[in-house]
Structure 1
Amino acid sequence: MGPLVLNTRPETDSADLLAALETRGFRHLSAPMLAISFPATDTPFDISPYQALIFTSANGVRAFDRLTNDRSLPALCVGDATARMCRELGFATVQSANGDIHDLAALIRQKIDPSSGPLFHPAARKTAGDLGEMLRNDGFQIDRQTVYEAIASDELSPDVLTALRHHHIDVILFFSPRTAETFVKLVHSYKLEDDLSGVSAICLSPAVQSKISDLTWHRTYVASQPTQEYLLSLLGSVVTACRT
C-alpha cells in the first residue's frame, strides 16, 4: 500500500488534489480545517465602476460567480489554481501571479494603471494579507468585499483521530496559514501532540510552516514555489527519500 496522506484543505478546493494523490499512488484521508459558506444574494452586482478584478482564492471566484454573470473585466489571480477556476467560469482575460499575495501585488503594479479606476476584490472575511494596504502608496484603490466565509472546524472525524492516534498517517499537507493554525488548535484540543513525532508536514509556504512550528514533527518541508504542483512534487521526493 502507498503512504497515507492527510489533506487539510476545504472540500471545495480538494477534488483536483485528491485525484492527483490517487494518480501518484497515495492513499488519503481528508480533514477539512475550513468550511466555505457562500451567503445568498438576490441583488445583481454592478461591476461597471471597476477596471479589473482581483482574486486571492478559487473560492473568491466561486463567490463572484454567484454575484454576476458578467465576465467582461480582466481577472488578476494569486495563483494558477485560481486562474484555472476563472477560465472554467468563462473569463477571457486571466493573469496569474503564480505565487502568494506579495506576488499578486507585484503583478497588479506591473499590469494595472491605478489612474484608470478601482479594482474589486471579492474575498473571505479573514484573508492572509491586505492588498489594499500593500498597494495604497502606489495609488491603487481596492474595494475588498466579504463574499464568502471560511469557518474553522472545531472537531476531527473519528477516522482521522484513529489514524493519528495509531500513527497510520505518514504526511500531512497544509495549504494556508489559517488551515495550519486551525489544525494546531485541534491537536492541542485532542491532546495529539505526541502522535505527530513520526509524521512529516509539507507546507505551501514559509508563512504556512510558521503556524505549525510549535508542534513536534518528524520533519517539516516547504514547497519551493507556492503551488499545488510544487507541493506534490515535494511530496514525491519526501516519500522517495523515506524509502531509501
Structure 2
Amino acid sequence: MMRMLVTRPEPDAQVTLARLRALDIEATAAPLMVRETLDASLPPPDGFAAVVLTSANAVRSLSDRGVLADYAHLPVLAVGDRTAREAEEAGFAKVSSAAGALSDLVNAIRISGLKGPLFHPTARHQSGDLAKALAPLGVMVATAKIYDMVAIEALPDAVLAALADGSIGSVLAYSRRTAEIFATLAGALDPAQRRRIAMLCLSEAVAGPLLEAHFHRISLADRPDEDAMMTLALAVAREQTAP
C-alpha cells in the first residue's frame, strides 16, 4: 500500500497519524509549519462577552503565555469540535462548537445574539477575517495575533523522493496556507509526478493553491473536520489497493 503524507503541524500531526494507522493506513508526518508564540499585547478580560477561537493553536499559545486562566471564565465559541475539546481540556468552563468552518462560526455568533465585544486570539496569518465577517452584524471583535505558523524551508529529502517515486501516493492538506507551502516545496516534482499524487483537502479553499500548481487528483472532504478527512482517506486508500 502506498503511504499517505500528513502535513499538519505538531501536535495535531501525531493525532492524525494515529487515526490513519487505526484505519490500517500507512502514513508519514512532515509538518510544513511550526508554531511560534508571539509576545503581542493582550487586552484585559474585563468587558468581553466571549472568546472566539478559530484554532486550537490559540489555546496553546495562551497557555504558553501563562494567561489562559485570565480568560477561562469567559464563554468560548469555537470553530470546530477539535478546537472546542482543546479549550475544554485547557480549563474553559463554557464551550460551544460551530462544528464547521469560519462561515459556520459567523452564523453561530449571529444566532447566539451576542453583540460583543468578542476576544479573538489568532494567528499572524489568517485564512479569513472574522472581524470583517462580523462587522455587518454590528459585533465588535478585538483581535490579538498571538502566534505565528512559520513555514519550513524544505521538505525532507526522503519525503520528496517518496513523492517523486510514488511510494507516497496521497497528501492530506488541512489549511489553505499548508496547501500553498506544499505546492511551493514540491516544485521540483515534474508534471507526471504531480498528476499521480492524490491531494486530500479539508475544503474547496484548501484545494485552490493546489489546482493553481497543477495538481489534478484533488478530493474534498464532505465537511471541514477530521472525521470527514478520515472518511476520505479511507476511501482513497481502498481505491489505491483495489485490484
The normalised TM-score by structure 2 is 0.92
- Counterparts in 2 of 1:139 and 1:196: CA distance versus 1, 3 Å: same
Amino acid at match of 1:134: A
Give the unaligned 5+ runs of structure 2: none
Partner secondary structure for residue 47 of structure 1: coil
Letter in 1 for 2:69: N
> How many angstroms apart in 2 are the aligned matches of 1:209 and 1:20?
22
Answer whether contact 1:118 1:142 (CA < 8 A) is retained: yes
1:70-123 deviation line (CA, Å, top 9, x unaligned): 310011011111011011111121111111111111111111421xx4100000
Equivalent residue, structure 2, for 1:150 = 149
1:40 Cα offset (Å): 5.2
Aligned to 1:13: 12
Q: Give unpaired runs (5+ residues) of structure 1.
A: none
Shift of 1:218: 5.8
Once the two structures are superposed, the pairs formed by residues 127-146 of structure 1 within 5 Å of their partners are 127-146=126-145
**Is residue 45–residue 68 contact of structure 1 (8 Å, CA) maintained in 2?**
no
Secondary structure of the equivalent of 2:154? coil
- 1:145-178 Cα shifts (integer Å, max 9, x gaps): 1100011222111221221122111210000000
What secondary structure does 1:49 align onto? coil
| Residue in structure 2 matched with residue 98 of structure 1 by the alignment | 99
Q: Which moved more, 1:151-160 or 1:214-223?
A: 214-223
Q: Distance in 2 between matches of 1:151 and 1:222?
A: 25
Alignment map for 1:95-244 (pairs within 5 Å): 95-114=96-115, 117-188=116-187, 190-217=188-215, 219-244=217-242
Residues 50-89 of structure 1 aligned to structure 2 (within 5 Å)? 50-65=48-63, 66=65, 67-70=67-70, 71-89=72-90
- Residue aligning to 1:4: 3
Change (3 A) 1:195 1:92: same
**SS at 1:234's partner residue?**
helix
8 Å CA contact retained: 1:12, 1:36: no
Give the aligned length. Answer: 239
Tell me which residue corresponds to 2:28: 29
